[in-house]
Amino acid sequence: MEAQRTGFGVSYEEPDEEALSEKEKKLPFELKRRILLVRRDIPSDENFGCCPEKRSVQELINFGVINLDKPSGPTSHQVSDYLQRILGIEKAGHSGTLDPKVTGVLPIALGNATRLAHLLLTAGKEYVALMHLHSDVPEEEVRARLSGFVGVINQKPPVRSAVKRVFRKRSVYYIDVMEIDGRDVLFRIGCEAGTYIRKFIYDFGEKNCWGASMSQLRRTKVAHFTDRELFTLQDVADAFWFWREEGNETFIRKVIKPAEQILDCLPKIYVSDNAVDTLCHGANLNVPGIARLESGICPEDTVAVLTLKGEVVCYGTAKMDSDSILASEHGFALKTDKVFMQSGTYPAAQRPENPQSQNL
C-alpha cells in the first residue's frame, strides 16, 4: 500500500503487517521496518552507470557474492580457496568461520566485494543444533531451561578458537525447540556473531548438572542470507562451465548475485547522479546530494550509499538521523569510510567558482 506524506515531498510504502509476526524468531536487524523516504524525486541518467542486475557475468565474478552451502570436512578458508580456483579469481572471502564439520550458510564475497564481507558480522546468525543430553530430563524442563538462556550470556571461547580465551558478553536473540527425542534435542538459535554454539551447549549442560554435548550443527542464516537458496561448490562449477563453454548465463546469474546484496542488512542512502563522482574521490556527503533515504537512520550508524540505480558507491558513518536529513536543506549527513565505485563512472558535478567545501 502506497502513501504520501506532506511537507518535503516524501513518499513511502506501508510495512507489511504479516512480516511483523513471530518477532521472537527474528534477528535484530529484521525487526527494523525501514520506509523509503523521497527527498528529491529525480531520475538517473541511463547513459551512466548500470543497474547491478544488468552487469556482465565477468563483472559479477569480480564484484559479486555467493550464498554457499558449506560441506562437512573442509575449513571455511579451504572452501573459499576452492571457489577461487573454480572461478579463476585471486580473491574470495567468507563472512564468518564455520568449523570443518559444520555445514550450511557461508556467504562468500568475490573479488573486490571482499571489502564488504565484514559488514555482515554485526547482523547476527542463526543455527540449527542437535544437542545430546547426558541425563534423562523431562521435556518440559528442557524447554523451560533453554528459554532461560535467551538474553545476554557470558561465554568463554573454547580452547580451540581463534580469539583470546576471556569471558565476553554475547546476545542470544531466540531459541526455538523444534523436537525432543529422548536425550536428543533439536533446536534453532539466533545469536550475536562470535557466539560458540558447541560451547553454549556444553555450558547449558554444566549449569543444569545434566551434561550435554553437540552432535550436529548447521548454520541456517547469516544476516539476510538464509538456507532457502543455497548453492554447493558443484553448483558453482557447473554454472561456470555452462557460461564459459556454452555461453549460457542462466545458471551462473542464479548462483552469483551482485555485491550490493551484502548491504541488504544496512540502512541506505541514495544519492543524485551529480553527487556520485565526488564521493568516489572520498568526499563526505552533505544533505543536498541526497535524493532518497531509508527511515530509522541514527547518528553513528553504518550506512550504505547507493546510486539511484542501486549501485554501491561507498559506505560511511551517519552524522544526522533520517528525520533531520529529510527536513534540512543543508548539513553534514555522512562521513565516508570506504569507497567502491571507480571515479569517472558518473560525470563530475559542475563546481562553483568559489567552492567552500570539498563535501557534497
Residues catalogued as catalytic: 99
| Residue 269 near residue 306, CB atoms below 8 Å | yes
Nearest to 314 by CA among 278, 355, 356: 278
CA distance 305 to 271: 7
CA-CA distance, 258 to 90, in Å (whole number)? 18
Cβ distance 299 to 307 under 8 Å? no
CA distance 74 to 82: 10
Q: Are strands 268-271 and 302-307 parallel, antiparallel or unpaired?
A: parallel
What is the Cα 109 distance to its own chain's centre?
Answer: 11
Of 168, 167, 172, the residue nearest 125 (C-alpha):
172
